[in-house]
Structure 1
Amino acid sequence: MNGICDEASRLEARVEGIVVDTFGDTITEEMLSDELDANLMRRSDLYFGTYTGDGVYPREITLGFAPKMVFIMRADGMTGSTGYTYQFLAFPVEESEQPDYCLLTQTGFRLNSPGDKSRINAKDIKYVYIALK
């Protein structure tokens, strides 16, 4: 047991030595505030929400920002077993001639149903989404 305590004490002394060599003394909040502020401005935020399907495609869901990613699923957890899409994960893609199930826009996302295979806006079904800002 004493050996473990001795190792911990030596490790603590080494870390303290590194701090002194690197920063000249103890690390203070002020020393890190500029770096912290810069990193906080780059962080991404998660936004959670719900919508109730109306069965109409295309459908715009407005978030008020251009999301980097959106995950959509039915609130009841159904994932699909009939060849239809009940959940979807959308990332930015370039516009194409074929509509995607979910296209990210400058203000949110647009739901589509190419080939009538999408169930991410089925009438009277509640959906949840997670959007990464």
Structure 2
Amino acid sequence: MEGIVVDTFGDTIDREMLSEELAAELDAKATQTALSDEAGARVQSDKALADRLTANETLTAQKCEIYCGSYAGSWDGDYSHSNTKTVSLGFQPKAVIISSSNASNIAGYGATLAHIAVEDAASPYVSITSTGFQVSRYMNLSANGPFRYVALK
């Protein structure tokens, strides 16, 4: 049988050799296969897009909040590490930046980040606490106050 087909039609059978009904049936099957493949690709694409949207929504929710405020210095004249003041924010900040309102005094500036130790500092001027931050020494000098801060939550 195979030999007859090869002798009669050559190696291939072209669409033009088929009856109109058979050609239409093959076209319909090819169209259905293409539509099924496209539908599958769309499902995968929609899922990938939904995953990216979810990831972006999660990242957006993780952006930090900025809190600004001020505190008055309460220096008692003691330059030791024991002269501290705690500023309560109600949360543990990720970072705190402090500036004295007296810009002429360079000692009235400071910054710190949560979970990053200040190397070689026996007593950092600014340290993060679980509910805010603590200042000491020059960051608590009443002569340099009031102090303004920016805390990142």
Structure scoring higher RCO (CA < 8 A, sep ≥ 6) equals 1
SS in 1 for 2:123: coil
Looking at structure 2, the residues matched to 97 and 73 of structure 1 have their Cα atoms a distance apart, in angstroms, of 20
List, as ranges, runs of 4+ consecutive aligned residues in structure 1 with deviation greater than 3 Å: 30-33, 93-97
Letter in 2 for 1:61: V
Query: TM-score normalized by structure 1?
Result: 0.61
**Contact 1:50–1:126 under 8 Å retained in 2:** yes
- Alpha-carbon deviation of 1:97? 8.1
* Max Rg structure: 2
The equivalences for 1:1-133 within 5 A come to: 34-56=54-76, 57-80=83-106, 85-92=107-114, 93-94=116-117, 98-113=122-137, 118=138, 120-123=139-142, 125-133=145-153
Residues 1:86 and 1:97: Cα distance change in structure 2 (over 3 Å): closer
Number of matched pairs: 100
Unaligned regions of 5+ residues in structure 1, if any? 1-22
- Alpha-carbon deviation of 1:88? 0.5
- Alpha-carbon deviation of 1:39? 1.6
Task: Compute the RMSD of aligned alpha carbons.
Answer: 3.0
Letter in 2 for 1:121: N
Letter in 2 for 1:75: S
Q: Specify the alignment match of 2:10 in structure 1.
A: none
Looking at structure 2, the residues matched to 98 and 108 of structure 1 have their Cα atoms a distance apart, in angstroms, of 20
Looking at structure 1, the residues matched to 91 and 101 of structure 2 have their Cα atoms a distance apart, in angstroms, of 23
Q: What do the CA deviations read for 1:71-99 (whole angstroms, capped 9, x no partner)? A: 1011232342xxxx211011233498821
SS in 2 for 1:67: coil
Unaligned regions of 5+ residues in structure 2, if any? 1-44, 77-82
Looking at structure 1, the residues matched to 57 and 113 of structure 2 have their Cα atoms a distance apart, in angstroms, of 27
Query: TM-score normalized by structure 2?
Result: 0.54
